[in-house]
Amino acid sequence: MRKLLILSLLLIFSQFSLGIINNGQIKLLAVSESQDGTMHGSVADMYLEIKPGKGRVFIDTFPFTKLDTQFTTRYAKNIACNYAEVDCSNYDFFYTIKAGSTIIGGPSAGAATTLLTLSMLNDEELPIDISVTGTINSGGIIGPVGGTLEKIEAAYWKGIKKVYISKIGLNESLFDNSSLDELIEVMPLFNFDELYEEVFGISLHGDISEILPSRNYESVMKEISLNLCNQAKEIRESTLKNIDNVSLLYEGDSLYNLSLNETWNNDYYSAASYCFGAASMYKTQEVLLMNQSDINQLYHLVLSDYLEFSEKYSNIEIRSFTDLQTYMITTQRLTEVSDTLFKINMTNITNSSKSNLAYSAVRLKSAEYWARFFGTEYDENFAFDDSALMNSCFMKLNEVEGYLNYLSDYLNLPLSTTRESLDHAYTDYHNQDYALCLFKAIKSKADADLILSSLSIKKDDIENLIIEKEKVAKRSIYESMDNGVFPILAYSYYTYAQTLAPDDYYSSLLYFEYASAMSDISIYFEKEQQLPSFKFMVSESVYLVFFLGFFFGAFFSYFVIKLFSFNKKPRRKKNRR
């Protein structure tokens, strides 16, 4: 009985001292549409409790919300944990949303959810008279949402003093017929770093120095570039033997010369891209001059090499983020080869079929060269089994699905191409190719982000947008490297975007977007379980409570034990004869 009492008391006081609960709250801005099409703004309350646990996320809403709110919340939590550099697999997150509106949350609550979560992880007190409305996108970019004016009006009537919104695609005439700008402060921002610094006066990141690639990346990428450029050179020399009009090769020569310049600058991915383009041009010219017999021979050679290569890497073990990204990019190239070969009608060889055959031959070589990244690194901190890949793919699919539905429903964006790309990701998911599914889903989200970022952007502002996108991509890559993961795809896209920026604005924006999206791929994977650390949740005052609780519990337990010992009559020893 005494031992049971002692154990109960110790459990009670250990719960008192160790069961630390972080509580936080933020105002969410929502919008609903009446039957006559009129938009109405409303304000909701989001509460968050963080407790020691297993990395789970619980969401309780009243009234019920759409499913996309759940995936947005999980994504926002992951971003916050990534910003705080905290292993959140040791904690459970309890989000509660209460409001009078029937439409709450969704992607538009992403930035607010991230701010609330990160403020608690960093032990910062969030002001109660502010609110944020905007999506949270790759690289921490805050995206625009629908019903901004109605939301700001609702915020004013609820006593909110300041509202943070997205600067992207901001309509300068937002307040033309409203006096709200004189009654409530509205601050447009581009990314989450700006938001956090405005709210707390704290910079999340210091100055970022120039990004230097890992030695392994530079070595392998240099080899890929060299192989593609040698391939282009060999095809050109072979083609020149059978062609009189050299001017037909000028376009390929132009790309090849650009590759030489990028090689001189040690930008091997850009050099490889230009050499791939040159090789495709040269190969197309070569195939156009082939007879039927040579075309049949080339077709069967490419098909045979494709089947052999696919079989070799179909069951390869993924042991690192480098392996994962290598699998993504090689498999994507193999898929392009397969799709291109499928389009060729060997019974009726047209110039289009010849171009497809030439492209597939060069693309297959590109996949073979990229495969040399396999096995060059190993990560012990993350799990890459089928279950982890499936969960990451499933989470990303649902996140993008909700995001596209939101953009379509509230902003009426043209997303047919992006939707088609996401459908391909679903196909990969059902075919259990989860790594390729994740890759395509991430790119679909990036494509949608680019459309959103470019919304209402004036020509004069596009250069500024490119600068901002470059900053975001650079910071995302830097953070990934700081966490011990070198993002080979993100860095490759980043350098290529820099190369394209002076002459091709749209392509530059696209590749900066891809760089941001691919750099934080690790947030979709759980780290291996480690011993929990409470450092981020516990302030000095909480440490004091912990120790006071511990000593008080020990003292009280000792007092109760002595009390029971005092009241208990001692047994008499029996005399044994």
Give the separation between CA 494 and CA 515, rounded to whole angstroms.
Answer: 5
Looking at the structure, tell me whether residues 362 and 501 fall in a common domain.
no
555 inside domain = no
Q: Is there a contact between 356 and 341 (Cβ–Cβ < 8 Å)?
A: yes
127 inside domain = yes
Looking at the structure, tell me whether residues 305 and 421 fall in a common domain.
no
Looking at the structure, tell me whether residues 160 and 187 fall in a common domain.
yes
Domain end residue (candidates: 478, 507, 524): 524
Looking at the structure, tell me whether residues 326 and 433 fall in a common domain.
no
Looking at the structure, tell me whether residues 334 and 430 fall in a common domain.
no
The parent domain of residue 31 ranges over: 21-200
Looking at the structure, tell me whether residues 239 and 366 fall in a common domain.
yes
Looking at the structure, tell me whether residues 365 and 416 fall in a common domain.
no
570 inside domain = no
- pLDDT by position in tens, the chain (length 577): 455 445 444 444 444 433 334 789 999 998 876 767 677 888 999 999 999 888 888 988 876 555 567 777 888 888 898 888 787 878 999 999 887 755 555 678 889 999 999 999 999 999 999 999 988 876 788 887 878 888 999 999 999 999 999 887 676 666 666 677 678 899 998 889 899 999 999 888 767 777 888 888 999 999 999 999 999 999 988 877 766 556 557 888 999 999 999 999 899 999 999 999 999 999 998 898 888 899 999 999 999 999 999 988 877 888 888 899 999 999 999 999 999 998 888 888 888 899 999 999 999 999 999 999 998 877 666 777 788 889 889 888 887 887 787 677 666 767 788 888 899 999 999 999 998 999 999 899 888 877 766 665 666 667 777 888 898 889 888 888 877 788 999 999 999 999 998 888 888 988 998 998 898 787 777 665 443 444 444 444 444 545 555 555 555 555 555 555 545 544 444 444 4
72 inside domain = yes
Looking at the structure, tell me whether residues 85 and 194 fall in a common domain.
yes
Number of domains observed in the structure of the chain: 3
Give the separation between CA 53 and CA 538, rounded to whole angstroms.
Answer: 16
Q: Show the tokens assigned to 310.
A: 């696919």
Looking at the structure, tell me whether residues 514 and 418 fall in a common domain.
yes
442 inside domain = yes
Q: Is there a contact between 323 and 313 (Cβ–Cβ < 8 Å)?
A: no
Q: Is 146 exposed, middle or buried (0-12, 13-18, 19+ CB in 10 A)?
A: middle
Q: Is 94 exposed, middle or buried (0-12, 13-18, 19+ CB in 10 A)?
A: middle
Looking at the structure, tell me whether residues 163 and 45 fall in a common domain.
yes
Sign, CA torsion 396/398/404/410: negative
Domain end residue (candidates: 167, 200, 233): 200
361 inside domain = yes
Report the residue count for the chain. 577
416 inside domain = yes
Give the separation between CA 241 and CA 286, rounded to whole angstroms.
Answer: 10
Residue 169: which CATH number? Answer: 3.30.230.10
Looking at the structure, tell me whether residues 368 and 395 fall in a common domain.
no
Peptide bond just before 63 cis, omega within 30 deg: yes
Domain end residue (candidates: 200, 225, 248): 200
Place of tokens 């790119």: 443
Place of tokens 């006096």: 179
444 inside domain = yes
Identity of residue 281: M
Q: Is there a contact between 414 and 459 (Cβ–Cβ < 8 Å)?
A: no
Beta strand pairing status for 162-166 and 130-132? parallel
Looking at the structure, tell me whether residues 408 and 299 fall in a common domain.
no
